[in-house]
Structure 1
């Protein structure tokens, strides 16, 4: 009864006057803000890092497969064009650092966005004012409530969670569980895309590294480690995969993306010549500390007991969404990839690569919670097939829906390349990656 009496004070006009909160100031989060502004809707962007694209900086040394023309959002570019922004060469692929410094930072500094982006802000939970997930009466008319880690609370008319998955890497064990003595091996395990030839060089030089994972992120690190081995004696590399063959990385001559094709060829050559030792059909059951500050990966290889020991293990096994802060939001997620239920069949990594995922919008992203969406890499759950172009189409569709342009929200305004993958390296060695980043966007 108390809630029913309070509802008129927070419903209707008052609710729609609230901002749309966007979680994450990566490419997709900032694109969402730009799209909303074009429709006269007030955005508020909350970013955990100290600047836009904070997670992308973690792999800033990597060059994307996609050229600039495929990693820029149209509404964001329209904001930038009035500022004297020097547009990049559209057919050239940027590095992650270039994406941040030449696009995201200028975008976040525009007069339109500068006061609408807050940094150093971590969202602790999302709910509805006075309602947990079990309450239904008047739910759609009740504002969202976001509690921040410092205790501050904000209200919103809608929420777009574009916070990505980069901070939630999958583990090294095939079952998905943590090592039995996780704390004891934490220093020997590293996730993501270490800068092997740059800031992380000393961690790998003159040591034995095992790279775990059968995707382009693993290939990226393998090629960098092989280059380091040429420069520093005693540097050795092994590649551990669950499958019988890394054919997905090797690719084929028919791949229309030259960067990805070159990546596969380079990786195949490393294995063929023995510069990288391939440990195929290896299922890791545990990671345990051993003498000398090393780590042993134990499990089975071709169904027989197996063990391999390393100084460092690079875990390149993908990422997963952080759903803890959404416990009071009504989500409908696929039980396998943890993506929105209607989107999941379209992005199943067993069927699709980046370029074969069809464009999609509000209908495929919908949850039982009205006016709440996962967008960008987080919308893909555990699937590694995300492209920035897809994320931009998602938030364009969401912005149209919030503006009441329901027909436009369901109109496809994107043509994807016939093939797709997410990134390469700097020449001359073509490095690669299959997914990613802060807001989930390495891809492009």
Structure 2
């Protein structure tokens, strides 16, 4: 196909063959629109496979997209037990890979998108802009390059490749790069012999306050029970309040609530020490090669052997620079979505379902979906992404009524108040947001741990 091919005859390019990208393709197929999914990795769900050892806090019933299931059904595929909790590896192997296989040649692997623009129009040019197809530049794993044309672009590339740095100002802390061989930005797989040897019997600092940090704390606590000398220093940029450990029993996703309680147990049982109000400015090395985190106010922590930085993710917008995107100045999410997810002012723990209206940009025909749509905001659920792409596919097919219809109810976390408020300890207890923060329940049996995204 060429630049002169009518837009309606061009495929809709989907960037990323993860859960949301493949769901987008399924919805497009159901609408009679031809998708072309471009995945940088070698397999479906390549990013998900990086945390294959982590168990989701959502059940199978909550992480299978309805349109995808319809596409899979004729092949004899049967959804696993809806009440069971898959690991990332389960999700990739038992759902994402079969879905990619059904889509067949519509999915290309080893295809990295290096740029998206309008044919013959850079970001500056207005003339006849919306009549031009999108150009998508691709670099394949074997070094080949290609330019193809698209009628629309759905970016579901996620944020996994761009984790947040340690520094409290959003930049790498001084010494962070130099200590890279002792810093991980992923939840470790402690069943892996190399990872086990890396953390067993050693002191580790975990930086972060979300579900991934809870997972790491709980897993390191389990390791401490088996390997003497294992200890964790948990570094939080804010103070501890009733909502620090999530919604607990008030969370409508029980496994997500239990995950926070498992992290609390790690602290209560002495496997981890919590250091609050600590915004890391530097990481210094001792003469024996250990690491000393130093805060902006000059506090220095005891040396640790390893650091696990779980400070969130951010979108890679580098290959979208020639498009006219409407992004929030704080979150780097679409401006229509930002007020719903801004942790400075939000929330009661959930975001009402949204779709094409909130995800549209000045550049018509391009949409950021899934984790990418949340920019730097946390607490994304797969169900949210499935609703996003259902709405966008309907809009691309000209079915505006379906695009604007809400077809999803999301579970609440049971947590209220924004992260901005939580930076001030005295504000934590006073702020109820739109509802009151729950008291921390008693510790119970830990339920499945989570990736933080589902």
Give the TM-score normalised by the residue count of structure 2.
0.88
Whole-Å separation in 2 of the counterparts to 1:151 and 1:330: 24
How far the C-alpha of 1:304 sits from its partner, in A, is 5.3
Matched, 1:148 2:138: yes
Q: Which position in structure 1 is the counterpart of 2:101? A: 109
How far the C-alpha of 1:101 sits from its partner, in A, is 1.0
Q: Which position in structure 2 is the counterpart of 1:228? A: 223
How far the C-alpha of 1:90 sits from its partner, in A, is 1.0
Whole-Å separation in 2 of the counterparts to 1:353 and 1:74: 28
Identify which range, 113-122 or 347-356, moves more after superposition: 347-356
Whole-Å separation in 2 of the counterparts to 1:382 and 1:145: 27
Give the TM-score normalised by the residue count of structure 1.
0.90
Whole-Å separation in 2 of the counterparts to 1:205 and 1:137: 62
How far the C-alpha of 1:82 sits from its partner, in A, is 0.3
Whole-Å separation in 1 of the counterparts to 2:348 and 2:54: 18
Whole-Å separation in 2 of the counterparts to 1:253 and 1:386: 20
Gaps of 5+ in 1: 1-8, 422-426, 437-442
Q: Which position in structure 2 is the counterpart of 1:70? A: 62
SS at match of 1:165: coil
Contact map agreement 1:359 1:412 (CA 8 A) in 2: yes
Q: Which position in structure 1 is the counterpart of 2:290? A: 294
Q: Could you list the per-position Cα deviations for residues 425-444 of structure 1 after superposition, in whole angstroms to 9, with x for gaps in the alignment?
A: xx9744544733xxxxxx1x
Q: Which position in structure 2 is the counterpart of 1:268? A: 264
Instruction: Go from structure 1 to structure 2 and tell me whether the alpha carbon gap of 1:363 and 1:48 turns closer, same or farther (over 3 Å shift).
Output: same
Instruction: Go from structure 1 to structure 2 and tell me whether the alpha carbon gap of 1:108 and 1:68 turns closer, same or farther (over 3 Å shift).
Output: same
SS at match of 1:325: helix
How far the C-alpha of 1:381 sits from its partner, in A, is 0.3
SS at match of 1:282: coil
Whole-Å separation in 2 of the counterparts to 1:125 and 1:273: 50
Matching residue within 254, 260, 269 for 1:258: 254
Matched, 1:243 2:241: no
Whole-Å separation in 1 of the counterparts to 2:256 and 2:28: 34
Matched, 1:406 2:423: no
Greater relative contact order (CA < 8 Å, ≥ 6 in sequence): 1
Matched, 1:188 2:182: yes
Whole-Å separation in 2 of the counterparts to 1:355 and 1:101: 30
Number of residue equivalences: 419
Q: Which position in structure 2 is the counterpart of 1:5? A: none
How far the C-alpha of 1:274 sits from its partner, in A, is 1.7
Q: Which position in structure 1 is the counterpart of 2:201? A: 206
Q: Which position in structure 2 is the counterpart of 1:6? A: none
When the two chains are superposed, the root-mean-square deviation of aligned CA atoms in Å is: 2.0
SS at match of 2:116: strand
Matched, 1:372 2:366: yes
Contact map agreement 1:385 1:434 (CA 8 A) in 2: no
Whole-Å separation in 2 of the counterparts to 1:363 and 1:70: 24
Whole-Å separation in 2 of the counterparts to 1:369 and 1:56: 30
Instruction: Go from structure 1 to structure 2 and tell me whether the alpha carbon gap of 1:35 and 1:251 turns closer, same or farther (over 3 Å shift).
Output: closer
Gaps of 5+ in 2: 416-443
Whole-Å separation in 2 of the counterparts to 1:382 and 1:135: 29
